[in-house]
Amino acid sequence: MPLIVSKVSTGRPIVYPWQQSICMKAISTLIITLFTFISMQAQNAGNWPLNSNLNGNAGNHLTVSPLSLGSSITSSSFNSGSEWYGEGGWTAASTPDANGYVQFTLTANTGRYLVLNTVTLIQRRSNTGTPQGAGPNNWSLRSSLDNYAADIATGSMTYNYATYTVTLPAAFQSIPSTVTFRLYGYNTTINSGGTSRFVFDNISVQGQSNAGVLAEQSINLTAQVNGEKNISLQWNTDGFSERTQFVVQRSFNGTDFTPVFRTESATTYIDANPVSSAIVYYRIAATLSDGSAYYSAIAPVKLGATGRTAIKGVSAQGNSVKTFLHLEGAGTYQVNIWSQDGKPLARQIVNGQAGDIQSEIAFDHPHGIYILTLSNEGRISSRAFVY
């Protein structure tokens, strides 16, 4: 609406009260709209203000864990109730220590999934010492999506606070249930009289929890001798889009794999094993739309072995995993837990007679999907489970 004015002999415009009210209302509506838009763009999925406690504030329809420290860090404390630090144990090496980190987790409520955009860190190293400065000079942010294998972002820091905003890659736009971040401090130096500290004023993750259930990706592979030298492979997959290509890969040393079969629909393959080898290793690779690859757990097979082992069930209980196994015969069996990309995480040796038995494995890892394998003399069975 155009602003209507009148002129008197002075030549100055007059704005009537009703016109001023309309203008103010329009301006207020515009401000509220802009504020709402900005708030939606910068919505916090989790925020850790660090005011005298380590608890986080969760966004709608999700939960967050308190902050915690890796086992290498010796102590922590609040300073005046408005900042928090982990003290001692930060590595002087030029790469992160696997156990030297600050950890926080976000979990979507049932029937929802996470869409995360950025992580914002307000942090510094200690300002103690002469000259000032002690603690990690560098930081690295990693996540449970790849079992903390790769840096999402890295940076350097001083004893003055700075705000670091990390833009998360596409994989964080569709997390089926939960993700754990670990923030590593490393390349530590300590000046005379200084105390090694990684200090935080605030940590936040921007994003939200959306309604819906995403398919969780998994490949379960079993391999066993079929006849004198033929090896029979069977697998099932979950969570992959149509036309995903699956590649059976074979190795004779457990490290160097070559493709032997490609398919978009088959779930079995028989390998005549043209090369003589005492043990043959197999895995299945799925090529994803972003060009990355997803791998099953490695299945080793000893030629000449017969028989069958089976995993009947898996139950996660606190810091352990209970397994329900069927043993084909008496002997020594190995139970392993693997990450989805084939990294070994836990192992247990089981000695038993033929029949059904139970075993329990200590397991203290972030919540997520893992793969359990049961093997004996080249025979192997595998099963994915949620921890």
**How many CB atoms are located within 10 Å of the residue 328 CB?**
16
HEC string of the chain equals CCCCCEECCCCCEECCHHHHHHHHHHHHHHHHHHHHHHHHHCCEEEEECCCCCCCCEECCCEEECCCEECCCCCEEEEECCCEEEEECCCCCCCCCCCCCEEEEEEEECCCEEEEEEEEEEEEEEECCCEEEEEEEEEEEEEEHHHCCCCCCEEEECCCCCEEEEEECCHHHHCECCEEEEEEEEEEEEEEECCCCEEEEEEEEEEEEEEECCCCCCEEEEEEEECCCCCEEEEEEEECCCCCCCEEEEEECCCCCCEEEEEECCCCEEEECCCCCCCEEEEEEEEECCCCCEEECCCEEEECCCCCCCEEEEEEEECCEEEEEEEECCCEEEEEEEECCCCCEEEEEEEEECCEEEEEEEECCCCCCEEEEEEEECCEEEEEEEEC
pLDDT for res 17: 45
Domain ends where: 211, 227, 245?
Answer: 211
Residues 159 and 273 in one domain: no
Domain ends where: 211, 241, 263?
Answer: 211
Task: Please report whether residue 286 resides in a domain.
Answer: yes
Domain count, the chain: 2
Residues 192 and 252 in one domain: no
Task: Please report whether residue 15 resides in a domain.
Answer: no
Each residue of 333-352: b (16+ CB within 10 Å) or e? bebbbbbbbeeeebebebeb
pLDDT for res 128: 96
pLDDT for res 229: 63
Domain ends where: 182, 211, 240?
Answer: 211
Residues 174 and 54 in one domain: yes
We report the CATH number of the domain holding residue 287 as 2.60.40.10
pTM over 0.75: no
Residues 227 and 362 in one domain: yes
pLDDT for res 34: 40
We report the CATH number of the domain holding residue 159 as 2.60.120.260
Q: Which pLDDT tens digit goes with each residue over 190-228?
A: 999 999 999 999 999 999 999 887 666 778 888 887 665
Residues 232 and 316 in one domain: yes
| CB half-sphere exposure, 177, CA atoms < 13 A | 11
Task: Please report whether residue 5 resides in a domain.
Answer: no
Task: Please report whether residue 225 resides in a domain.
Answer: yes
Residues 187 and 202 in one domain: yes
292: amino acid identity, one letter: S
Residues 244 and 262 in one domain: yes
Residues 56 and 172 in one domain: yes
Task: Please report whether residue 21 resides in a domain.
Answer: no
Task: Please report whether residue 12 resides in a domain.
Answer: no
Task: Please report whether residue 28 resides in a domain.
Answer: no
| Domain span including residue 85 | 45-211
Residues 205 and 88 in one domain: yes
Whole-angstrom distance, CA of residue 319 vs CA of residue 14: 75
Residues of the chain with pLDDT under 70: 1-42, 214-216, 226-229, 273-278, 289-292, 303-309, 340-342, 377-380
Residues 204 and 72 in one domain: yes
pLDDT for res 89: 96
Task: Please report whether residue 361 resides in a domain.
Answer: yes
Residues 299 and 160 in one domain: no
Residues 275 and 381 in one domain: yes
